């Protein structure tokens, strides 16, 4: 069963660089009895979240309130300092599209590498499906990504990142593809991916988006849960689409 | 575990038709026959719902990939038939390679060559439907070999399709799996046998033409039919070709029946339809249970012919029933067969009645639509069940594509390293081996310099110098790469949540690939300039493995440290330069005083000695080995602690 289970989770983010942690400082500090505690910021403070299949969580809050850190904590990037974290399910973190891309390689090789990075064995059929979604010409598969315009690059990366369904989908801001013709299609695919995932966590500043997509919204402030709102079941899909096209 | 799932299909894209691979021993145009007609009809009638492909053997050579009636047919070369089986040694391998490309496998049994693949448990990922055309009746002595394989295939099959329900009861092997057997009778296109309007009466009062069709093989019992014609006055025409032809011709000559019994050979399908229309009686004299259904008697029924068939334990006497559409006689009984034929020849009214009954039964009970729907239902059910189990297992935990533990991490690291190596080729002027050329130049220059330093022959030293430089380059690059690896992959660690250890492993893998390029130089020099002591090289291998293991552990520890504490990196860089000069890499320990304490304490001395000494002298120094093993143990402990701490690596970058 897919689930996210966080209980009393805290995360202290160490602030390397801002303070002097050097050996000299530590030894002298001890000699001169200076305060030698680690300088940290509590990025996630005592958060408990229970999510079972079907839950779509929106994370709202001002900049620096811990949204992204919480997403990365769920993804397993950061270990919790204290508390319980138990996550079952295949997590697909869509936190940035550009990771792992090599601009000198041709598009097809990049797609294959990105698929391997996410643990999939690339096959011609998968590659063809991804390429069909980008709506780019067949021969461009054999061009290095360096030759692609930023819009075209975005199409390839988006199509690759969203090719497979996820049990747990983590989104840091709704992925936007800045291309008049393509963005509607990308939006639709992302929406479909959100629908097919068992659990979705989206961090966003856009309250409207969160209300449309999620069934519970958690407001974060300084790493704490300031308030959480359970919403009515999401509006039927066709209404959403009308709203977008309007 | 790595799982492959089809990419998400977006709503406005049309759903793909599932594809079926038909597996059989032979196909058009190499042969014609009942089973092939069935396969062809399945392919043609299901073409709107399933993409069909056929994998068979062929003796004729020619094109490997052909298209027959819009169906892609792949033919595997066979060297001829051995015990009724095509001798195609590559067939199982080719079948295994093709399995993953299809959604459903349709095995037309018996075909032990394909059973071989399924018996070994290959191709489990795709559902299998067995079309049971016949049991193996000939070569009964070899049955003990084939039967266990057939049983395994049937056990693995999702469904078994037979042509007549009686086969499930009478075939011992099918009884074991009766719960997944489906009886789907073959169909015949009755309209094809409609007689032209001009030909008013189809029953001829003087008629005495007896027709039989089938490959000229023993189980068809045509010899019985020839013997039955002896001392009677009907004419027998036999359509078909096969290895029994010579025997049958001899038999016809022996009985002196050349004027009344004719072997027509292979004829086209339209010709066969015409012959069925002009014949007076159709005979199916088959003598063994290899004849399970008798598709050809169904065709004769569609052409309104009265049938004479044999009382086999198969569907044969059920398709055309004794007294209604046929006269059924004991198999192999020439006199009874002749009597039955004569009864019909002499009674035009009975021929007409039976012919009408036969046509009616073919239309009502054996329509092509019913056959198509029967097969389609089974195929759809099997594909749907497979999709359901796939869905169920994909939502179960533990089968995720990512998070595959150490194996998954190593796979990803290897893929990244491979890509790094490819990156070195991209936009290079000298091609893949520019690295090797670089190494060759370095060896040449250093070799000539050192040749002047020492009095011994510079040429004899070159292979060892090249090997040492290759190994040192490997160690040096792995450690240097590791110090920057985590920062360089920050986005993959933070945005894709990949475990940081992957990127430290990647350094070792990548440099191992590069070292493989460099190793061409010492290898060529070793082959050219030394006595080529292969035994010594074998003894050196465990030492090399230890060398690589130490390098990997060292890179894990130093890579993590250098990421956490930024001043470690310059320290490592200068230490490596010092180590290069202080260790016997470009010089050898013979050149300096062996008693030097620094030399003896320097772990690199021993790390090189454990594989260089066997290469040079054929045996390994125990002292060095113990020293290296102790170092490795210490490094392993440090690496384990490092990996535990690497969870926090995301904070450091």
- Give per-residue pLDDT as tens, A61-98: 888 888 889 999 999 899 888 888 888 888 888 887 77
Residues B345, B308: contact at Cβ < 8 Å?
no
Distance from CA of B265 to the nearest CA of A (A): 46
d(CA B225, CA B239): 13
- A-B Cβ pairs (cutoff 8 Å, strict): 123
Interface test with B, best of A4, A75, A100 (most B CBs within 10 A): A100
Spatial neighbors of B214 by CB under 8 A, at least 6 apart, are B33, B34, B220, B222, B239, B240, B284, B286, B296
Q: Residue B293 — φ and ψ, nearest 5°?
A: -140, -50
- Contact (CB<8Å) A126/B6: yes
A5-11 mean pLDDT = 90
Per the document, the length of chain A is 246
pLDDT band at B110 (very low <50, low <70, confident <90, very high): confident
B576's CB contacts (< 8 A; 6+ apart) are B476, B479, B480
Chain B residues near any Cβ of chain A (below 8 Å):
2, 4-8, 10-11, 13, 395, 397, 400-404, 408, 411-412, 415-416, 419, 422-423, 426-427, 491-498, 647-648, 650-652
Selection from A4, A1, A33 nearest residue A169 by Cα? A4
Please report the ipTM that was assigned to this predicted complex. 0.85
Q: Where are the alpha helices (DSSP H) in A52-149?
A: 67-75, 107-117, 124-134
Q: Which tokens sit at B629?
A: 């093993």
Please state, as a whole number, how many other Cβ atoms lie within 10 Å of the Cβ of residue B528: 11
Most confident range, picked from B45-54, B429-438, B544-553, B606-615 = B544-553
User: Can you tell me the mean pLDDT for B559-573?
Assistant: 90
> Which of A208, A190, A169 has its CA nearest to residue A55?
A169
| Strands across the sheet containing A3-14 | A40-52, A3-14, A82-88
Tell me if residue B51 falls in helix, strand or coil. strand
CA-to-CA distance for B468 and B443, rounded, in angstroms?
A: 10
Residue keyed to tokens 């004027």: B259
DSSP state of B289: T
User: Quick one: average pLDDT of B607-626?
Assistant: 86
Under an 8 A CB cutoff, do B401 and A118 touch?
yes
Whether B495 sits inside 8 A of A120 (CB atoms) is: no
For residue range B120-134, what is the model confidence (pLDDT) as tens digits?
777 777 889 999 988
B44-66 burial by CB neighbour count: b if 16+ within 10 A, else e?
ebbeeebbbbbbbbbbeeeeeeb
DSSP characters over B587-614: S-GGGS-TT-HHHHH-HHHHHHHHHHHH
pLDDT at B138 over 60: yes
Could you please report the per-residue DSSP string of B15-30?
PPPPEEEEE-S--TTS
- Under an 8 A CB cutoff, do B4 and A129 touch? no
Q: What pLDDT, on the 0 to 100 scale, is given for residue B201?
A: 53
Q: Tell me the chain A residues in contact with residue B647 when contact means C-beta distances shorter than 8 Å.
A: 79
Q: Are A68 and A211 in contact (CB under 8 A)?
A: no
Q: Quick one: average pLDDT of B461-472? A: 89
* Residue B210 DSSP SS3: strand
| Confidence band of B2 (pLDDT split at 50, 70, 90) | very low
**Which residues from chain B sit within 8 angstroms of residue A120, using beta carbons?**
2, 4, 401
Alpha helices in B347-495 (DSSP H): 348-365, 368-395, 405-425, 434-453, 458-488, 490-495
Question: Following CA atoms B463, B465, B468, B474 in sequence, which dihedral angle do they give, to the nearest 10 degrees?
Answer: -90
Q: Which of A117, A118, A122, A128 has the most B C-beta neighbours within 10 Å, making it the best mutation to test the interface with B?
A: A117
3-state secondary structure B620-649: CCHHHHHHHHHHHHHHHHHHHHHHHHHHHH
Question: Across-strand partners of A3?
Answer: A52, A88
Q: What is the distance between the alpha carbons of residues B293 and B133, in angstroms, rounded to a whole number?
A: 8
Choose between A227 and A241: higher pLDDT.
A227
Q: What is the pLDDT of residues A142-177, one digit of tens each?
A: 888 888 888 888 888 888 888 888 888 898 887 777
B412/A99 CB distance under 8 A:
no
Backbone φ and ψ of B424, nearest 5°: -65, -30
- Structure token pair of residue B125: 């990922």
Cβ <8 Å between A91 and B491: no
Q: Which of B397, B408, B650 sits opposite A119 (nearest CB)?
A: B408
Interface test with B, best of A119, A126, A238, A240 (most B CBs within 10 A): A119
Tell me the C-alpha to C-alpha distance, in Å, between residue B39 and each of A144, B211, B553.
46, 25, 59
pLDDT of residue A34: 55
What tokens appear for A216 in the block? 């519970």
pLDDT band at B589 (very low <50, low <70, confident <90, very high): low
CB contact under 8 A, B10 and A1: no
- % of chain A with per-residue pLDDT over 70: 85
Return the structure tokens found at B497: 């949540």
Least confident interval from B10-19, B202-211, B223-232, B529-538:
B10-19
In whole angstroms, give the CA distance from residue A12 to residue B411: 32
Question: What per-residue confidence (pLDDT) applies to B403?
Answer: 46
pLDDT at A38 over 60: no
CB atoms within 10 A of CB A189: 20
Share of chain B above pLDDT 90, in %: 29
What was the pLDDT predicted at B509?
Answer: 94
Cα A229 to chain center, whole Å? 21
B76, containing H or E segment: strand B71-77
- The one-character DSSP state at B191 is G
Neighbouring CB atoms inside 10 A of B150's CB total 22
Phi, psi angles (nearest 5°) of residue A91: -90, 130
pLDDT above 60: residue A239 = no
Q: How confident is the model at residue B353, as a pLDDT?
A: 92
Lookup: tokens for B139: 């070569």
Which residues are paired to A84 by β-bridges? A7
**Nearest chain A residue to B417, by CA:** A113
Mean pLDDT score of chain B: 84
> Which region among A54-63, B163-172, B324-333, B593-602 has the lowest average model confidence (pLDDT)?
B593-602
Give chain A's mean pLDDT. Answer: 82
Tokens representing residue B546 in the block: 């230890």
Q: What span, in angstroms and rounded, lies between the C-alpha atoms of B583 and B600?
A: 10
Would the pLDDT of A20 be above 70? no
**All residues at 6 or more sequence positions from B356 whose CB lies less than 8 Å from its CB, including other chains:** B304
Kindly indicate the confidence band of residue B15, based on its pLDDT and cuts at 50, 70 and 90.
Answer: low
Q: What is the pLDDT of residue A165?
A: 84
Percent of chain B with pLDDT over 70: 90
Q: What is the tens place of the pLDDT at every residue in A175-225? A: 777 677 788 888 888 888 888 888 889 898 888 888 888 888 999 988 888
Question: Which H or E run includes B106?
Answer: strand B104-109
Degrees to nearest 5, angle at CA B497 with A86 and A158:
120
Is the distance from CB of B649 to CB of B563 less than 8 angstroms? yes
Of B6, B7, B400, Cβ closest to residue A90: B400
Q: Is B124 left (phi over 0), alpha (psi -120 to 50) or beta?
A: alpha
CA distance from start to end of chain A: 38
Residue A245 clears pLDDT 60, i.e. is over it: no
CA–CA separation, B345 and B206 (whole Å): 8
Over range B218-222, report the average pLDDT: 90
The C-alpha atoms of residue B420 and residue A30 are separated, in whole angstroms, by 46
**A1–B652: do the CB atoms touch at under 8 Å?**
no
Per the CB < 8 Å rule, is B496 touching A118?
yes
Res A131 pLDDT > 80: yes
Residue whose structure tokens are 């299949």: A53
Residues B95-103: what's their mean pLDDT?
A: 85
């Amino acid at each position: 069963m897919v689930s996210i289970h966080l209980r009393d989770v805290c995360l202290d983010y160490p602030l390397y660089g801002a303070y002097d942690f050097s050996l000299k400082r530590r030894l002298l500090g001890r000699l001169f009895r200076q305060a030698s505690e680690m300088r940290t910021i509590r990025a996630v403070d005592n958060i408990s979240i229970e999510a079972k299949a079907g839950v779509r969580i929106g994370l709202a809050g001002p900049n620096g309130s811990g949204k992204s850190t919480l997403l990365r904590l769920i993804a397993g990037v950061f270990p919790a300092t204290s508390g319980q974290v138990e996550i079952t399910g295949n997590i697909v973190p869509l936190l940035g599209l550009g990771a792992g891309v090599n601009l000198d390689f041709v598009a097809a090789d990049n797609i294959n590498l990105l698929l391997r990075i996410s643990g999939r064995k690339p096959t011609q059929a998968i590659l063809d499906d991804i390429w069909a979604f980008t709506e780019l010409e067949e021969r461009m598969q054999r061009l290095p990504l360096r030759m692609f315009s930023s819009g075209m690059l975005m199409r390839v990366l988006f199509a690759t990142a969203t090719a497979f369904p996820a049990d747990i989908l983590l989104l840091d801001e709704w992925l936007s593809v800045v291309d008049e013709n393509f963005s509607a299609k990308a939006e639709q695919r992302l929406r479909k991916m959100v629908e097919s995932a068992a659990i979705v966590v989206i961090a966003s500043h856009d309250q409207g988006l969160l209300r449309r997509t999620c069934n519970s919204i958690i407001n974060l402030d300084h790493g704490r849960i300031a308030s959480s709102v359970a919403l009515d079941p999401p509006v039927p899909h066709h209404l959403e689409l009308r709203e977008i096209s309007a | 575990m790595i799982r492959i799932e089809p990419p998400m299909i977006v709503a406005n894209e049309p759903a793909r038709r599932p594809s079926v691979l038909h597996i059989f021993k032979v196909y058009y145009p190499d042969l014609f026959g009942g089973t092939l007609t069935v396969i062809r009809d399945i392919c043609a009638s299901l073409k709107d719902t399933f993409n069909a492909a056929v994998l068979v053997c062929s003796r004729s050579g020619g094109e490997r990939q052909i298209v027959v009636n819009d169906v892609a047919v792949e033919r595997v070369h066979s060297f001829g038939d051995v015990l009724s089986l095509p001798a195609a040694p590559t067939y199982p391998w080719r079948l295994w390679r093709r399995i993953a490309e299809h959604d459903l496998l349709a095995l037309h049994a018996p075909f032990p060559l394909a059973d071989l693949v399924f018996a070994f448990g290959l191709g489990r990922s795709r559902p299998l439907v067995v079309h049971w055309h016949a049991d193996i009746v000939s070569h009964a002595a070899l049955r003990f070999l084939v039967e266990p394989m057939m049983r395994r295939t049937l056990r693995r099959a999702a469904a078994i399709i037979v042509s007549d329900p009686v086969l499930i009861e009478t075939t011992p092997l099918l009884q074991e799996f009766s719960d997944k057997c489906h009886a789907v009778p073959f169909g015949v296109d009755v309209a094809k046998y409609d007689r032209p309007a001009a030909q008013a009466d189809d029953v001829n009062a003087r008629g005495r033409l007896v027709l039989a069709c089938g490959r000229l093989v023993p189980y068809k019992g045509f010899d019985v039919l020839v013997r039955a014609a002896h001392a009677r006055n009907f004419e027998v025409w036999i359509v078909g070709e096969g290895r029994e032809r010579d025997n049958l011709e001899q038999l016809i000559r022996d009985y002196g029946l050349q004027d009344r019994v004719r072997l027509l050979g292979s004829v086209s399908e339209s010709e066969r339809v015409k012959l069925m229309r002009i014949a007076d009686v159709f005979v199916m004299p088959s003598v063994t249970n290899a004849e399970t259904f008798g598709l050809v008697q169904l065709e004769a029924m569609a052409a309104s012919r009265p049938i004479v068939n044999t009382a086999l334990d198969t569907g044969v006497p059920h398709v055309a029933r004794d007294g209604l559409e046929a006269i059924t006689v004991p198999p192999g009984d020439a006199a009874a067969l002749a009597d039955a034929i004569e009864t019909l020849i002499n009674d035009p009214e009975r021929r007409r009645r039976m012919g009408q009954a036969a046509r009616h039964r073919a239309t009502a009970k054996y329509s092509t639509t019913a056959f198509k729907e029967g097969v389609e239902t089974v195929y759809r059910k099997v594909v749907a069940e497979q999709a359901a189990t796939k869905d169920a297992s994909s939502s179960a935990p533990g089968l995720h594509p990512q998070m595959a533990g150490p194996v998954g991490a190593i796979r990803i690291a290897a893929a990244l390293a491979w890509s790094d190596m490819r990156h070195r080729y991209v936009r290079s002027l000298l091609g893949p081996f520019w690295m090797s050329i670089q190494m060759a130049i370095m060896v040449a220059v250093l070799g000539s310099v050192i040749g002047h330093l020492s009095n011994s022959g510079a040429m004899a030293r070159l292979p060892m110098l090249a090997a040492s430089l290759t190994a040192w380059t490997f160690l040096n690059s792995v450690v240097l790469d590791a110090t920057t690896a985590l920062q360089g992959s920050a986005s993959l660690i933070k945005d894709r949540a990949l475990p940081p250890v992957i990127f430290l492993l990647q350094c070792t893998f990548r440099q191992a690939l590069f070292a493989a390029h460099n190793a061409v130089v010492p290898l060529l020099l070793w082959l050219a300039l030394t006595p080529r002591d292969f035994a010594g090289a074998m003894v050196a291998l465990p030492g090399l493995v230890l060398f690589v293991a130490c390098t990997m552990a060292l890179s894990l520890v130093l890579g993590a440290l250098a990421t956490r504490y930024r001043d470690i990196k310059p320290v490592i860089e200068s230490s490596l330069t010092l180590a290069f000069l202080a260790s016997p890499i470009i010089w050898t320990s013979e050149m300096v005083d062996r008693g030097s304490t620094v030399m003896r304490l320097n772990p690199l001395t021993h790390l090189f000695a454990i594989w260089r000494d066997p290469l040079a002298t054929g045996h390994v120094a125990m002292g060095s080995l113990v020293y290296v093993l102790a170092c490795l143990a210490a490094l392993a402990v440090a690496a384990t602690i490092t990996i535990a701490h690497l969870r926090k690596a995301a904070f450091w970058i």
